[in-house]
């Protein structure tokens, strides 16, 4: 008995929907135009982007926020090639993302077909899984396998290659093997003996430190982390996207004393944080040569990577925090911590107070042109406490990590492990969609350096097209890292060949990026003073369905003070 006849494109979107794929970001063209339309017909939300990289950034950000990979749909050849930056970012950031690329017809392989490209091979370096289904009947399995690979173990990226002739092929639905919805990834506990070893180390510590990483945020471990911190009284330091797992204003958060905490801690508990460049590899001189590390991670290959850990706790960070917390109930940690930790906490508080005093003095200087510190201080005072904050750009992102606080987990998105520029607007689009569907009324604040904005600025059209109420704030210093004011810029370029005299770090001074909003019948704001910025932000936050663009001009030579929050790989001797 024959069943319903279906095209390959229908088989594919039904397989995606059956695995819970909710969002698809992409740019359509031959041979995937019909695929996007079919996706909409089965309830998958399709968001048409302006650049494939930005589409891939949005797909992975929605994967991080929901735990289900976002899908990025692109055309063959250059379309797939443009996603590789996004795939590499998802893989490095450990966020679930599925890219589906159209491909030239199979019977034209090797003949120089339109946009023919070795797509599976090209993507393999940047993914956990890549495949081309063997047939239409094989599509549901490959979707199932790709989704499983992106979410099980350490999350990451997957790529599926779909030739045009396969998408058009008509098959009997009875010949297609369907796969049920993939179960949630299994949660594993750490070895109880290792838990006991970890508690013994923590019990003996005089300068303990807990580092809360992005893995704790992705693992929804916020309640367990807070319980552990409350029981032990240990100070904690969040990584950039670990911010908000525990409220940044919590009295045990010692972010302003980051350097001192790292250098003087004797036992460091890493909760879903890797000892990579962001944490200076766990090595001297950023750390004490005698520091002992307790690593909590899903991935065994992460243990003993840059330094030898004293205890390796493999498993789910949420479950392991619960194990540690329960072990503390029977240990001496709760009864001895308040007394033993007092000198350590006092030493850290001394540094916190000193750093806050110096940064506040910089922040209160409202002289024009403004500084990063002044802008961020006054911006923080106006932002809703539950806003999702997206930051991108060198100084913009680094200094923003200091001033812009998070009270809630998974409410900070930035360039992340790969340090990728161009992610901001894609991340913001994903965050705004998540807010619309899961947290109505919550605001998304996207704060970009002027250089960072240039990577994906035309995604503003996407934002206006879908009426996503994103507040975009551009911190404009006329350059990459540092720029020049208009007078100096023109003086330096006083020559015939501008390619020889224009400084490589400079951008056009005082560019009115906010005018891009008027192209889409929106309104932009150009600000030089704090009152102008405050007025613009107040108006932007009052908008319900309309995006806002605020362009804040600052001193082109504004920089970070000292290096207390230096995230560079190089150690300062």
**Mean pLDDT confidence for 81-86:** 97
The pLDDT tens digits for 207-256 are: 999 999 999 999 999 999 999 999 999 999 999 999 999 999 999 999 99
The pLDDT value given to residue 330: 74
Asked whether the predicted pLDDT for residue 412 surpasses 80, the reply is yes
What proportion of the chain, given as a percentage, has pLDDT over 90? Answer: 88
- pLDDT grade, residue 564 (50/70/90)? very low
- Here the tokens at position 98 are 């599925």
The pLDDT value given to residue 3: 78
- Here the tokens at position 398 are 């680094």
Please count the other Cβ atoms lying within 10 Å of the Cβ belonging to residue 236.
25
**Mean pLDDT confidence for 461-482:** 96
The pLDDT value given to residue 394: 87
**Mean pLDDT confidence for 118-143:** 97
CB 168 within 8 A of CB 1: no
The pLDDT value given to residue 560: 73
- pLDDT grade, residue 559 (50/70/90)? confident
- Here the tokens at position 20 are 């819970």
The pLDDT value given to residue 561: 64
The pLDDT value given to residue 116: 85
The pLDDT tens digits for 22-38 are: 999 999 998 999 999 99
The pLDDT value given to residue 338: 59
Residue with tokens 């998408």: 167
Lowest-confidence region among 406-415, 487-496, 532-541: 487-496
As a whole number of angstroms, the distance between CA 37 and CA 388 comes to 30
Sheet holding 70-74, edge to edge: 45-48, 23-26, 70-74, 97-103, 157-163, 129-131
The pLDDT tens digits for 45-82 are: 999 999 999 999 999 999 999 999 999 999 999 999 99
Residue 291 DSSP symbol: -
**Mean pLDDT confidence for 469-474:** 98
CB 39 within 8 A of CB 16: yes
The pLDDT value given to residue 331: 72
What proportion of the chain, given as a percentage, has pLDDT over 70? Answer: 96
As a whole number of angstroms, the distance between CA 465 and CA 555 comes to 33
**Mean pLDDT confidence for 433-457:** 97
CB 254 within 8 A of CB 348: yes
Asked whether the predicted pLDDT for residue 478 surpasses 90, the reply is yes
**Mean predicted lDDT score pLDDT of the chain:** 94
pTM of the model: 0.96
As a whole number of angstroms, the distance between CA 36 and CA 44 comes to 9
Q: Which residues lie across from 209 on neighbouring strands?
A: 268
CA distances (Å), origin 85, targets 92, 122, 456: 11, 12, 13
As a whole number of angstroms, the distance between CA 321 and CA 297 comes to 11
């Amino acid at each position: 008995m024959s069943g319903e006849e279906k095209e390959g494109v229908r088989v594919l979107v039904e397989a995606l929907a059956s695995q819970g794929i909710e969002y698809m970001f992409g740019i359509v063209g031959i041979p995937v135009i019909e695929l996007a339309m079919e996706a909409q017909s089965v309830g998958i939300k399709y968001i048409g982007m302006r650049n494939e990289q930005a589409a891939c950034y949005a797909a992975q950000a929605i994967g991080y926020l929901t735990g289900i990979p976002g899908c990025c749909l692109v055309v063959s050849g250059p379309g797939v090639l443009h996603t590789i930056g996004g795939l590499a970012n998802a893989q490095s950031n450990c966020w679930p993302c599925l890219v589906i690329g159209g491909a030239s017809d199979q019977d034209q392989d090797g003949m120089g077909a339109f946009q023919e490209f070795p797509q599976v091979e090209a993507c393999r370096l940047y993914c956990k899984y890549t495949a081309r289904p063997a047939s239409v009947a094989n599509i549901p399995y490959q979707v199932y396998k790709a989704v499983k690979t992106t979410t099980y173990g350490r999350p990451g990226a997957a790529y599926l290659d779909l030739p045009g002739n396969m998408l058009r092929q008509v098959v009997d639905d009875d010949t297609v093997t369907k796969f049920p919805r993939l179960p949630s990834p299994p949660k594993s506990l750490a070895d109880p003996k290792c838990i006991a070893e970890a508690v013994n180390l923590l019990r003996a510590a005089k300068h303990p430190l807990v580092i809360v990483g992005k893995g704790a945020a992705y693992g929804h471990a916020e309640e367990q982390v807070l319980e552990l911190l409350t029981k032990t009284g240990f100070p904690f330091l969040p990584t950039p996207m670990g911010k908000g797992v525990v409220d940044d204003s919590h009295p045990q958060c010692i972010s302003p004393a980051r350097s001192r905490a790292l250098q003087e801690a004797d036992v460091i508990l890493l909760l879903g944080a890797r000892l990579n460049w962001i944490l200076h590899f766990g090595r001297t001189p950023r750390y004490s040569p005698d520091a002992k590390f307790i690593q909590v991670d899903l991935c065994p290959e992460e243990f003993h990577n840059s330094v030898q850990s004293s205890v390796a706790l493999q498993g789910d960070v949420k479950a392991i925090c619960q194990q540690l917390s329960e072990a503390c109930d029977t240990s001496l940690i709760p009864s001895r911590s308040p007394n033993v930790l007092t000198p350590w906490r006092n030493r850290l508080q001394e540094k916190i107070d000193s750093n806050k005093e110096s940064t506040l003095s910089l922040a209160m200087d409202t002289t024009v042109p403004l500084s990063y510190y002044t802008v961020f201080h006054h911006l923080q005072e106006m932002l809703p406490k539950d806003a999702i904050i997206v930051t991108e750009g060198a100084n913009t992102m680094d200094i923003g990590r200091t001033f812009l606080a998070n009270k809630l987990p998974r409410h900070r998105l930035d360039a992340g492990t790969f340090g990728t520029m161009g992610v901001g607007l894609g991340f913001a689009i994903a965050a705004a969609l998540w807010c619309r569907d899961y947290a109505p009324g919550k605001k998304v604040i996207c704060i970009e350096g002027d250089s960072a904005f240039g990577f994906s600025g035309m995604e503003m059209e996407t934002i206006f097209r879908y009426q996503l109420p994103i507040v975009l704030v551009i911190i404009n210093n006329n350059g990459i890292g540092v720029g020049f004011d208009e007078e100096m810029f023109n003086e330096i370029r006083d020559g015939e060949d501008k390619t020889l005299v224009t400084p490589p770090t400079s951008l056009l001074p005082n560019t009115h990026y906010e005018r891009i909003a008027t192209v889409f019948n929106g309104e932009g704001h150009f600000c030089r003073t704090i009152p102008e910025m405050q007025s613009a932000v107040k108006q932007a936050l009052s908008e319900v369905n309309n995006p806002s663009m605020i362009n804040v001009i600052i001193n082109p030579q504004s920089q970070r003070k000292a290096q207390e929050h230096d995230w560079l790989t190089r150690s300062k001797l």
